[in-house]
Amino acid sequence: MEHNLANDELNVTRPAWNHQRLVPRIVHIGCGAFHRAHQALYLHHLLETSDSDWGICEVNLMSASGKLLVEQLRQQDLLYSVTEKGAEQNDVHLVAAIKEALHPALDGHNGIIEALARPETAIVSLTVTEKGYCTQGANGELDADNTLIKHDIAHPMTPKSAIGFIVEALRVRRERGVAPFTVLSCDNLRDNGHVARAAVVGLAQLRDTALAHWIDENVTFPSSMVDRIVPAVTDETQQEIRALLGVEDPCGVACEPFRQWVIEDKFVNGRPEWDRVGAQLVADVAPFEMMKLRMLNGSHSFLAYLGYLGGCETIADTMQLPTYRQAALALMMQEQAPTLSMPEGIDLQAYANQLIERFSNPSLRHRTQQIAMDGSQKLPQRWLDSVRYHLLHGSDCRHLMLGIAGWMRYVLGQNERGEAFDVVDPLSATLHDINQHTPEGDARIRALLAVRTIFGDDLPANPGFVSHLQQVYAQLCQHGARAAVASLNQEPK
């Protein structure tokens, strides 16, 4: 018999409730590590403290890795572990919120569409990353030229994108007279409810204007803000989980103790009482979303690019360097906090101090290269709108400028020792072409600034911004990342 969560004595307590009680009222698309450590765990805690019957139908659309995960979950009775790694102790939860797990290669496209179309499905939630919405960065509209979207228009009953599955399922529900579901984006991007609506209604419009109108009138797309540091699972992580559980758990994840979930309370077909287990249900997510994107994610990206270039493997490693620690805090409070408009009672200084403490957690191995992925889609919302604020007000933003220079140096695909590495980014082909055909220095900066989906039209047309960026980039290349970060603390404010 294989030793796993389904059939072995464990070092942790099994959940007290019976899976038979659960109804798969939530279909979640994108059963990645973050979702398993965040949304699924919130529901697990609700099941622990109430008689709720809300369960999750997990759907993975990733090819090989997604299929393997679904198979592994099934082999261990849809159980998996979440290890919360504090600076001094670990807490392990055996999560039992999943009712079923599906993959197109195992259950067929129709099996997933039928799961989405079931009357009991009240919420379809998503963690598919920015690129999973198939929208265009500049205007937020559906990218009709996206390869997946082209396929889904031509073959609507066998979609490839998450958006294609949702639209086809809504078409089926409308045809059968079944009430619509709520589409809840849990991805880390600005105004994610609006992005989800633009994608879903946009694809429906290309298929059937009447369907698009029905979706627009009847489906709700609440925004949400999610926060928890969940590093990529490594062999070392798996060994730690095995030691804590007493058996293998290939589906297990490790994360920090902190978690936060702010949700716009706009559900068309009911929702779990997430607020009973710590989620915040609010009328407007935008201020919290902006606070997190700019202060947490913005400083995370700063530490990722300049930390990797400076030889730091993890974020915790960067926090061991006083100059990086000081720069991250200054970026948050001096350059990001002034751009925010928060509800009364929100203490941004306390939030920033908490972030520094979280980044410093030595138990987390959150790799700088993991955070550095997909930078072309992250820069606009994490840094560039803040830069525009400072350009408008004539205020200092030298940390942000060094961050942009750090990204430009990073996407060269070569570290400071001259060793090549892969740049993981949706625009990797464009970036590679620029690197190959543009001389290093000012010309390459201008070529990168010309990528409109990142920088728009205004920033490349601002001589002061371009000149400042060229100067900062030159200093970064000449002196190295560590010296460049240290120099931030020496310049006058």
Q: Are 387 and 402 in contact (CB under 8 A)?
A: no
Q: What is the pLDDT of residue 370?
A: 93
Q: Report pLDDT digits (tens) over 370-388.
A: 999 999 989 998 999 999 9
Say whether pLDDT at 491 is over 60. Answer: no
| pTM listed for this prediction | 0.83
Q: What is the pLDDT of residue 327?
A: 98
Say whether pLDDT at 8 is over 90. Answer: no
Q: What is the pLDDT of residue 1?
A: 43
CA dist., res. 150 & res. 22, Å (int): 37
Lowest average pLDDT, out of 5-9, 27-31, 120-124, goes to: 5-9
Q: What is the pLDDT of residue 306?
A: 98
- Domains, the chain, in order of start with CATH, read 19-282 (3.40.50.720), 286-488 (1.10.1040.10)
Q: What is the pLDDT of residue 80?
A: 96
- 409: confidence class by pLDDT, cuts 50, 70, 90: very high
- 5: confidence class by pLDDT, cuts 50, 70, 90: confident
Q: What percent of the chain has pLDDT over 70?
A: 98
Q: What is the pLDDT of residue 452?
A: 94
Mean pLDDT for the stretch of residues 192-198: 96
Lowest average pLDDT, out of 78-82, 233-237, 403-407, goes to: 233-237
Mean pLDDT for the stretch of residues 423-438: 96
Q: Report pLDDT digits (tens) over 279-314.
A: 999 999 999 999 999 999 999 999 999 999 999 999
Residues in the chain: 493
Say whether pLDDT at 231 is over 90. Answer: no
Mean pLDDT for the stretch of residues 7-20: 76
Say whether pLDDT at 335 is over 50. Answer: yes
Provide the greatest CA pair distance for the chain. Answer: 68
Q: What is the pLDDT of residue 63?
A: 84
- Of 488, 346, 306, nearest to 298 by C-alpha is 306
Q: What is the pLDDT of residue 392?
A: 97
Mean pLDDT for the stretch of residues 315-322: 97
Say whether pLDDT at 343 is over 90. Answer: no
Say whether pLDDT at 340 is over 50. Answer: yes
Q: What is the pLDDT of residue 139?
A: 64
- 493: confidence class by pLDDT, cuts 50, 70, 90: very low
Q: Mean pLDDT across the chain, nearest whole number?
A: 94
Q: Report pLDDT digits (tens) over 77-115.
A: 999 999 999 888 899 999 999 999 999 999 999 999 999
Mean pLDDT for the stretch of residues 168-172: 98
Mean pLDDT for the stretch of residues 33-48: 97
Q: Are 299 and 355 in contact (CB under 8 A)?
A: yes
Task: Give residue 349's Cα distance to chain centre.
Answer: 24
Q: What is the pLDDT of residue 2?
A: 60
- 3: confidence class by pLDDT, cuts 50, 70, 90: low
Q: What percent of the chain has pLDDT over 90?
A: 87
419 CB burial (10 A radius; 0-12, 13-18, 19+): exposed
